[in-house]
Amino acid sequence: MINFNKIILLSKQIAASLLKDEKVESLEPLDLFSQEEKDNILKRLTDNTEIESRLQSKIEIDKKKDWESLKSKLHVPKKTYYWQYATAASIALIVALTFLLNNNDDDYTEPVLVDTKIEIGTDKAVLTLADGTTVLLDSTNVYQGKNVKGNGKEVIYEIAEQNIDELEFNYLTVPRGGQYHVKLSDGTEVWLNSESQLKYPVSFIRGNPREVELVYGEAYFEVSKSSKHNGDAFTLKTNAQSLTVLGTIFNVKAYKDETEIITTLVEGSVSVSNTINEVILKPKQQSKLTQANNDFEIATVEVEDYISWHRGVFSFANKPLKDIMKVLSRWYDVGILIANEDMENIAFTGVLNKQQSIENILEIIKSTNNMNYKIENEYIIIE
Amino acid sequence: MSQTKEVHNLSLKAYKDVFDSLYASLCIFAKSYVNNLDIAKDLVQDVFIKVWEDKIAFKNELAVKSYLYTSVKNRALDYLKSKRYKETDHMSVIELDVLNKESFYLKEVVIEEASSRIEEAINTLPNKCAQIIRLSIKEYSNNEIATHLEISVNTVKAQKKIAYKRLRPLLKDYFVFIAFVFNFSD
């Protein structure tokens, strides 16, 4: 059997050569691999499509979710688990370091790299085309298709020359830690928040309502007026409600892990309905559909607090800490754990730029409230 | 093998660290066998459960990797031979032969380890640098990178220099071993 150490070293050499833009020499003298296999190794590491497809798989791996599901299957004393985390962290760390660093192999000295740095969110999304192909859109990847163009910030659809008779759907999926902007073929603009998915036709059929679906998550819409489209209304579906407009600006929040759907109207008029009820919103009004009773509660709100995210600002007005943490966890893609339940409903008011580190934000909250926190792995623990 | 079965103090924290650093890589690796990411995830989770339930202890990181890659491979091959798989899909004997080869296994480990290594390194770079290095890996020439990013060739060269400088501590160790020879032994 091959010494596994050599395989790891070989991997590192190849990585180093590619990073330095040098010829990969380490593979050539090996009789371990056939020429075909050697070619395959290099192709998989340098070919655009291959790199994309690996990245796509990585995006589809939800480490946190899978960890939770794995953890639930392990026999661990669950009740004390987080307290172990919080109180015996130093011991755990020593054990972890011993475990990872206790290294007796002669020429191999590197510990498992666990990146604990929490990154600020960026513009990124995955575009799924009608044939199922997926394209990663971020600062380093551009996409150009028929009537569609995607870059580091946004994807733009152009109006098809001819009317079509069958709808073709695309999906735009924004992961945690991401945000993205899309301009649909009718001119409607949508800003998608972290952990959101939008389903929409590449082109709309003239004479039919323009139907778009917020599969999950949060989005801010500036709908192109119906008068520009021979009166064709614009309909937005989410799993539990439907919304019809004739050209307006609004925000819908419908996260999978939240029990309510919140629709905030900025401008114009919308009709929001489910199978039982229907309400009409006026500007500055907000409807809240709770899963519990199927009713729409209507309130007048400070609109800015609900839509500022699409301009890169968090605006919290007297918001409970647990809600704030939910917002932060999506943008910074971190886990949040409120170890001290008394802290959950402590309210905070403030306007914060999204382009700053999460430590900064936590420090600001900490300075105005009696809150303590620490960051461990990719978890923020509120104590 | 270097792992030993004995009662030990593998804390959940240490276990999670291993999961965090290797889970995604193992899933992608498993996918090269079963060609389905969801099944790949299931197989990898099964292996992680076994590590925990059997209280398997490891001497070092290398032993962890070696054990996990081998176990995931074995589980993937078992899956491809299982009834469950054969009911929904099939694979020709020739295809299965390829996947059974030791060199296929080692090749996939090399690809995944090198990929994650490259990613890790690029993630330490400032944005612009990272963008340039990503294109350079995709075999874009300096001129092509310049055109693509709408910057001058000199900027590309300067940024590359910055990148190499920053990556040097990460890279230098491995060049010492360039001329190593594989040892075949039992």
| Predicted TM-score (pTM) of this structure | 0.49
Mean pLDDT of B52-66: 79
Whether residue B27 and residue A100 make contact (CB cut-off 8 A), yes or no, is no
pLDDT for res B164: 87
Q: Taking CA atoms, what residue in B is nearest to A2?
A: B184
Q: How far is A272 from chain B (nearest CA, A)?
A: 36
Mean pLDDT of B34-52: 93
Q: Taking CA atoms, what residue in B is nearest to A3?
A: B183
- Is A91 a residue whose pLDDT tops 50? no
Q: How far is A144 from chain B (nearest CA, A)?
A: 14
Percent of chain A beyond pLDDT 70? 87
- Cβ of residue A206 closer than 8 Å to a chain B Cβ: no
CA distance B106 to B103: 5
pLDDT for res A131: 81
pLDDT for res A93: 39
Mean pLDDT of A88-94: 40
Q: At A142, phi and psi to the nearest 5? A: -110, 155
Instruction: Answer whether B17's CB lies under 8 Å from B73's CB.
Output: no
- Is B175 a residue whose pLDDT tops 50? no
Same domain membership, residue B166 and residue B108: no
Structure tokens at A46: 């340098």
Same domain membership, residue B138 and residue B75: no
Whether residue B60 and residue A102 make contact (CB cut-off 8 A), yes or no, is yes
Same domain membership, residue B93 and residue B22: yes
Chain A segment 99-118 residues within 8 A of B by beta carbon are 99-100, 102-105, 107-108, 110-115
Same domain membership, residue B97 and residue B132: no
Instruction: Answer whether A182's CB lies under 8 Å from A166's CB.
Output: no
pLDDT for res B176: 37
Instruction: Indicate the average pLDDT of chain B.
Output: 82
Instruction: Answer whether A302's CB lies under 8 Å from A288's CB.
Output: no
Under the banding of pLDDT at 50, 70 and 90, the label for residue B10 is low
Domain limits for position B36: 1-115
Same domain membership, residue B36 and residue B96: yes
Same domain membership, residue B29 and residue B87: yes
Structure tokens at A322: 């647990």
Structure tokens at A212: 């778009």
- Cβ of residue A94 closer than 8 Å to a chain B Cβ: no
pLDDT for res A339: 80
Nearest alpha-carbon partner for B28 in A65, A262, A56, A43: A56
Same domain membership, residue B165 and residue B106: no
pLDDT for res A365: 85
Cα Rg, chain A, nearest whole Å:
25
Mean pLDDT of B51-67: 80
- Is B97 a residue whose pLDDT tops 80? yes
pLDDT for res A153: 85
Please report, in angstroms and rounded to a whole number, the separation of the first and last CA atoms in chain B: 11
Same domain membership, residue B78 and residue B4: yes
Mean pLDDT of A111-118: 47
3-state DSSP call for residue A115? coil
Structure tokens at A255: 């996260």
CA distance B42 to A279: 44
Domain total of chain B: 2
- Pick the residue of A140, A141, A355, A379 with the most B CBs within 10 A to test the interface with B by mutation: A140
- Is A98 a residue whose pLDDT tops 70? no
- Is A26 a residue whose pLDDT tops 90? no
**What residues contact residue B30 under an 8 Å CB cut-off, 6+ apart?**
B39, B40, B41, B43, B44, B72, B73, B75, B76
CA distance B119 to B22: 14
pLDDT for res B172: 57
Q: How far is B44 from chain A (nearest CA, A)?
A: 10
Place of tokens 């050499």: A13
Least confident of A101-110, A122-131, B63-72, B154-163: A101-110
Residues of A in contact with B110 (CB under 8 A): 7, 10-11, 14, 41
pLDDT for res A21: 87
Enter the DSSP assignment of A298. E
Task: Please list the alpha-helical segments (H only) found in chain A.
Answer: 4-19, 35-46, 48-60, 63-73, 81-87, 89-101, 304-307, 321-332, 358-368
- C-alpha distances in Å from residue A93, one per residue of A104, A129, A210, B125: 20, 45, 55, 27
Q: Which residues pair with A216 in a beta bridge?
A: A197
Chain A segment 315-374 residues within 8 A of B by beta carbon are none
Q: How far is B164 from chain A (nearest CA, A)?
A: 7
Under the banding of pLDDT at 50, 70 and 90, the label for residue B142 is very high
pLDDT for res B8: 39
Domain boundary among B115, B139, B156: B115
Residues of B in contact with A96 (CB under 8 A): 11, 13-14, 17
Same domain membership, residue B90 and residue B6: yes
- The complex's ipTM? 0.86
- C-alpha distances in Å from residue A138, one per residue of A122, A127, A131, A180, A207: 8, 11, 21, 9, 35
Write the residue in B134, B136, B177 that is nearest to A13 by C-beta. B177
Tens of pLDDT, residue by residue over A126-158, are 888 888 778 888 887 778 888 888 887 899 998
Whether residue B27 and residue A61 make contact (CB cut-off 8 A), yes or no, is yes
Least confident of A106-110, A219-223, B106-110, B123-127: A106-110
- Cβ of residue A62 closer than 8 Å to a chain B Cβ: no
Whether residue B37 and residue A61 make contact (CB cut-off 8 A), yes or no, is yes
**What residues contact residue A13 under an 8 Å CB cut-off, 6+ apart?**
A24, A26, B174, B175, B177, B178
Q: Which residues pair with A262 in a beta bridge?
A: A253, A288
Instruction: Indicate the average pLDDT of chain A.
Output: 82
Task: Calculate the CA A265 to chain-centre distance.
Answer: 24
pLDDT for res A9: 85
Place of tokens 């918001």: A319
Longest Cα separation, chain A: 75
pLDDT for res B7: 34
Same domain membership, residue B129 and residue B88: no
Highest mean pLDDT among A70-74, A352-356, B33-37, B54-58: B33-37
CA distance A209 to A219: 20
Tens of pLDDT, residue by residue over A196-229, are 999 999 998 888 889 999 999 999 999 988 888 8
CA distance A144 to A136: 12
Write the residue in A5, A20, A139 that is nearest to B62 by C-beta. A5
CA distance B90 to B80: 8
Same domain membership, residue B108 and residue B46: yes
Mean pLDDT of A14-41: 88
Mean pLDDT of B107-133: 91
Structure tokens at A72: 């639930």
- Is A264 a residue whose pLDDT tops 90? yes
Domain boundary among B80, B115, B150: B115
pLDDT for res B111: 97
pLDDT for res A272: 92
**What residues contact residue B183 under an 8 Å CB cut-off, 6+ apart?**
A2, A3, A6
Q: How far is A381 from chain B (nearest CA, A)?
A: 15
Cβ of A326: how many Cβ atoms within 10 Å? 15
Same domain membership, residue B142 and residue B54: no
pLDDT for res A219: 96
Whether residue A30 and residue B182 make contact (CB cut-off 8 A), yes or no, is yes
CA distance A343 to B57: 38
Cβ of B173: how many Cβ atoms within 10 Å? 15
pLDDT for res A159: 79
Tens of pLDDT, residue by residue over A343-381, are 888 888 888 888 888 888 888 888 877 788 888 767 788
Structure tokens at A298: 């209507």
Q: Taking CA atoms, what residue in B is nearest to A34?
A: B103
Residues of B in contact with A144 (CB under 8 A): none
Residues of B in contact with A102 (CB under 8 A): 59-60
- Is A41 a residue whose pLDDT tops 90? yes
CATH (domain of B158): 1.10.10
Domain boundary among B80, B98, B115: B115
Domains of chain A and CATH, by start: 4-46 (no CATH), 122-307 (2.60.120.1440), 312-382 (3.55.50.30)
Residues of B in contact with A24 (CB under 8 A): none
pLDDT for res A113: 36
- Residue with the bigger pLDDT between B15 and B46: it is B46
Residues of B in contact with A120 (CB under 8 A): none
